[in-house]
Amino acid sequence: MKKLLLVLILLLLPTLASAQDAAAGKDKAAICGACHGVDGNSTIPQNPILAGQTARYIYLQLRDFKEGRRKDPLMSPMAANLSKKDMLDLGAYFAAQKHTSQNSKGDSSLIAHGKDVADAAICTMCHLGGFSGQNEIPKTGGQHYEYVLKQLQDFKAKRRTNDAGNMTAVLRTISDEDLKALAAYVASLD
């Protein structure tokens, strides 16, 4: 019995030691601000907003950039030297920031068509209503149009493949024109 308890404690220790810490993340985030905004509300449409993103998803993306499962010439080098604790702290910090941007783009008929395409594909089954995200599934509501469109195109063309097939499968039958409508709709949400 005692032995079992010790094993349990030993298993739990690393989890406790790597608990995420938003305050530590704030210091580590200084370097990210140039591209993502100091509080994660990026004003550059190609750079994703991190404010209000789920901590788990941010951690997983940083890990994937570091390990080469997701690649980007600007972002990959930024993740290269982060430790697991750094990634967890950064995730905690950005998740706790308030998403303040409003990124509507495109006219109302394009946005309405995007909603129809999203409803037909049942995107919210995973992303939840308003594309608010949960755990490893990203919040994409209110994300920059340009960034969202690039990700949809990258998934469809299998240039981005760190999604365990979830996104590549759902986009396979959606036309390139409809990807623009989807991006306009998603960006228009809060």
Which spans of this chain sit near ligand HEC (rule: CB under 6 A)? 31-32, 34-36, 46-48, 50, 58, 60-62, 72, 74-75, 78, 90, 118, 121-123, 125-127, 136-138, 140, 148, 150-152, 162-163, 166-167, 170, 182, 186
Least CB distance to ligand HEC at residue 71 (A): 8
Q: Which is nearer to ligand HEC, 81 or 109 (CB)?
A: 81
CB 59 within 8 A of CB 91: yes
Least CB distance to ligand HEC at residue 61 (A): 4
Residues 6+ apart with CB under 8 A from 41: 49, 51, 97, 99, 100, 101
Closest by CA position to 55, among listed 140, 134, 165, 124? 134
Q: Which is nearer to ligand HEC, 88 or 182 (CB)?
A: 182
| Alpha-carbon Rg for the chain in angstroms | 18
Least CB distance to ligand HEC at residue 8 (A): 30
Q: Which is nearer to ligand HEC, 52 or 138 (CB)?
A: 138
Torsion of CA 186, 162, 31, 39, to 10 degrees: 30
Least CB distance to ligand HEC at residue 92 (A): 11
Q: Which is nearer to ligand HEC, 111 or 118 (CB)?
A: 118
Tokens of 67: 């390990």
CB 99 within 8 A of CB 14: no
Q: Which is nearer to ligand HEC, 12 or 159 (CB)?
A: 159
Least CB distance to ligand HEC at residue 16 (A): 23
Across 159-176, b (16+ Cβ under 10 Å) vs e yields ebbbbeeebbebbeebee
- Token pair 């590549």 in the structure block, residue: 168
